[in-house]
A and B are shown apart, each in its own frame.
Chain A
Amino acid sequence: MKKVVFRLWPWLALTGALLLLAPLASSSPDGLESSLGLLGLSPTTGPALAPMAEYQVPGVAGQGLSTVLAGLIGAVLVLAVFTLGGLWRRRREG
């Protein structure tokens, strides 16, 4: 596992680069939101129930930094889910 992740450093480097660019992302409505807007439907509904709505970490000053941190947390979470899934499977088989 460790060995493979090391071999994948170009993918990890690219992921890091994308996260640093995240504050530059367009904040315009996406295709679905624009389509709903044309139909007169408001796409935003209800209060934000998740801890980091709009990809902002609560309490972090600076919107750009907050976005990068939120992205980093999300990317690490995705990696963690697969790592834990792999470990669980190995233990069950072993």
Chain B
Amino acid sequence: MHIPDGLLTTPTWATTAVVSAGYLGGAVRKLQHQAGERLVPYLGVMGAFIFAAQMLNFPVAGGTSGHLIGAALAAMLFGPWAASILVTVILVIQALVFFDGGLTALGANILNMAIVAPWTGYIVFKLLSRSRLGIFLASWLSVLAAALVASLELAASGLAPLGVILAPMLGWHFLIGLGEGLITTVAYHYLSATVPEIQQGVSRVEEGGI
């Protein structure tokens, strides 16, 4: 769902850049206040894992593919503020080093995949009390929410009316999100089982703050 350069109009990319930058400033402070440096090695290794997972496009249907975003997974493991920073680091490296996602579109991509996606995933996960179905739905809806906001940005840039953009965007990401849900459900159980402090100490770090 990485928006390339040349699609968003200046008001759209500038607005999303300002919103994302303002949010990230707050997220960094929040994380420092809550977790200090304890989470840093976990975020680094999980960031590397999600970066690698994002390279693995899986086919869905009709000659279209999708890949894991991992924002919901990170939010379930570390809380939404840490997840935002984790996905932002990945998006910046993808744009600067790998030409995946545009530089001018970086603020929009951060808004969609590093802010909307982890918060959606986190809230649904909490509402459904961390059940297996909750993990699946949370990650699936995180993809749909990101696709919805991406559609709003594309429509705001005058590429097509919102209704015209929404149908294919939500349709494809409905399917891609099922992949996100399956991968996240398996990955969450494996990752938290192999590193038990994630479910005890580290995850408690975010419990107190939000």
- Whether A22 and B96, one on each chain, are in contact in the complex, defined by CB atoms closer than 8 angstroms, is no
Q: Which residues of A contact B2 (CB under 8 A)?
A: 30, 32
Are A22 and B47 touching (Cβ within 8 A)?
no
Whether, in the assembled complex, B210 has its beta carbon less than 8 Å from a beta carbon of chain A, the answer is no
B66 close to chain A: CB less than 8 A: yes
Q: Which of A4, A7, A12, A90 has the largest count of B CB atoms less than 10 A from its CB? A: A4
Tell me whether A21 and B56 are in contact in the complex, defined as CB-CB below 8 angstroms, given that A32-B3, A35-B168, A74-B98 are known contacts. Answer: yes
Q: Is A61 an interface residue (CB 8 A)?
A: no
Interchain CA distance A36-B172 in the complex, whole Å: 11
Tell me whether B56 and A18 are in contact (CB under 8 A): yes
Given the interface pairs A71-B52, A85-B40, the reply to whether A78 lies near B64 with Cβ below 8 Å is no
CB distance from A58 to the nearest CB of B (A): 12
**Bound Cα distance from A15 to B57, whole angstroms:** 15
1/0 contact string of B20-62 vs chain A (CB within 8 Å): 0000000000001000110011111111110111011111101
Choose one: B1, B32, B40, B98; the contact of A32 (CB below 8 Å).
Answer: B1
Residues of B close to A24: CB separation below 8 A: 56
The answer, among B42, B49, B65, B99, for a CB contact under 8 Å with A4, is B42
A29 to B102, CA, bound (A): 16
Q: Are B97 and A39 in contact (CB under 8 A)?
A: no
The segment out of B4-12, B116-124, B126-134 that lies at the interface is: B4-12
Closest CB in chain A relative to B201 CB, distance in Å: 11
Residue pair B37, A90 in contact (C-beta under 8 Å): yes
Interface string of B82-104 (1 = CB under 8 A from A): 00000001100111111110110
A31 touches B99 (CB 8 A): no
- Pairwise interchain contact B55-A25, C-beta atoms closer than 8 A: yes
Assess whether A31 is in contact with B56, with CB atoms less than 8 Å apart: no
Contact A70 B98 (CB under 8 A): yes
Q: Which of A21, A41, A75, A86 contacts B37 (CB 8 A)?
A: A86
What residues of chain A lie closer than 8 Å to B164, measured between beta carbons? 39
Is B195 touching A10 in the complex (CB atoms < 8 A)? yes
Q: Are A22 and B44 in contact (CB under 8 A)?
A: no
Is the CB–CB distance between A45 and B63 below 8 Å? no
B182 contacts the other chain (CB 8 A): no
Residues of chain B with a CB closer than 8 A to A74's CB? 51-52, 55, 93-94, 97-98
